[in-house]
Chains A and B, each alone.
Chain A
Amino acid sequence: VDAGGPCELVERLVSPYTRPAQVGETVLRYVVEVTGDETFTLTADPARPGEKPEVAVDTNAWRILAMLQWHLNQVVVAKAAPSYVLLHAAAAVREDVTVILPAPMESGKTTTVTGLVQAGYRYLTDETVALVPETLDVHAYPKPLTIDQGSWPLFPELRVPPVGPADASWFVPASSIRPDAQANTGRAPRLVVFPAYRQGTTTQVRRLSGSEATIELAKSTFRFTESPERNLKVLAGLARSCPTYELQIGDLDSAVAAVGDLLDREVAA
């Protein structure tokens, strides 16, 4: 592993997912082959059911890394879905109080949770929240923060080498923001915030009702239809047990402040 080189980047990407295999456990192996014409081929062994081993072929190594990250996310979701309710969400912890931020892609999950971690919260994930059905406790999915180009000006200090081309994402371990930033688990969420970045607007929050929140949570649930009864019960329980808000984000600082205010209010209550 070369410091600052591409191998270090791969190590940074995959290290949260790796641990020694246990007896009888399937080992997932990725191979990147480079052919003479500078074409990269990413394969997964074993392939996922119904898929070819070949995950991606590209002349851009950074896109191969992005595909590796995407494929790992898919594998993790597939493996965890039978045991957990999985939300497409970011999550962070402040003083043992968990806030989750469910939203579709490009809504501001990673940007918001990065801002929260910089403000002192501990990081659980920027991609997938695993809820324990019985307790609603949250398991971390400690992938590196994937910061896209649009948010780079907000976090210039997080630009860590190697830096790829203009369209590549930054893969930032939470520990590079603060050594103790990574949390492994969180208690059941006390606050749910649905972030939505709207350029040119002012940041504002709107409280959602229980049924509205349940519908929105369901939209953010991976593989909802595989266990709909369990998933709906868990999501309804979450919507009943903690306040839920839409957060229209105009700028990051005010969004971080708004989440903090909502948490203050919840803790005080």
Chain B
Amino acid sequence: MTTLDLDGRSVVAHADHLVVEEFDDGVVVWHGPTEGLHRLDVPGAAVWAVLDGCRDLDEVSAEVAEFFGLAKHAVFGDVRTFVSDLVERQVVKVKQQAL
């Protein structure tokens, strides 16, 4: 999976077999199958919170942009790159692939 495989219509959800601990300064995620422990900072946690398997990346970007008081087009690239990284780390799964 690369950033090129995700577009605004891609839908992404949290993977199975996770243990998640939330903090004021971010999120810590344990993924059992890969035995990976990951720390997401505040912007990362904001994206993580809306990767609910219902919203596509356009909607996720809009939510994140609103949260930080930015324009959607200003955050979409970063959101897509970040989500691609989460896919590589296997802590999220792509439910609906871009066409």
Distance, CA A236 to CA B19, complexed state (A): 11
Question: Which bracket fits the contact residues of A?
Answer: 10 to 19
Render B6-41 as a binary contact track against A, CB cut-off 8 A, 1 for contact: 000000000000010101111110101001010111
For the residues of B in contact with A, the DSSP-based class is strand
Given contacts A228-B19, A228-B30, A232-B19, A218 and B24 within 8 Å (CB-CB): no
Q: Which of B19, B25, B30, B32 interacts with A212 by CB under 8 Å?
A: B25
Q: Please give me the residue from chain A that is nearest to B37 by CB atom.
A: A218
For the residues of A in contact with B, the DSSP-based class is helix
Number of inter-chain CB pairs below 8 Å: 46
A214 to chain B, nearest CB (A): 5
Question: Which bracket fits the contact residues of B?
Answer: 10 to 19
Does A209 have its Cβ within 8 Å of any Cβ on chain B?
yes
* Residues on the B chain within 8 Å of A225, using CB: 35
Given contacts A218-B37, A228-B32, A211 and B19 within 8 Å (CB-CB): no
Is A214 a contact of B28 with CB atoms below 8 Å? yes
* Residues on the B chain within 8 Å of A232, using CB: 19, 21, 28, 30, 37
Distance, CA A228 to CA B31, complexed state (A): 9
B16 to chain A, nearest CB (A): 13
B51 to chain A, nearest CB (A): 18
Is B21 a contact of A215 with CB atoms below 8 Å? no
Is A210 a contact of B19 with CB atoms below 8 Å? no
* Residues on the A chain within 8 Å of B26, using CB: 209, 211
Distance, CA A218 to CA B28, complexed state (A): 11
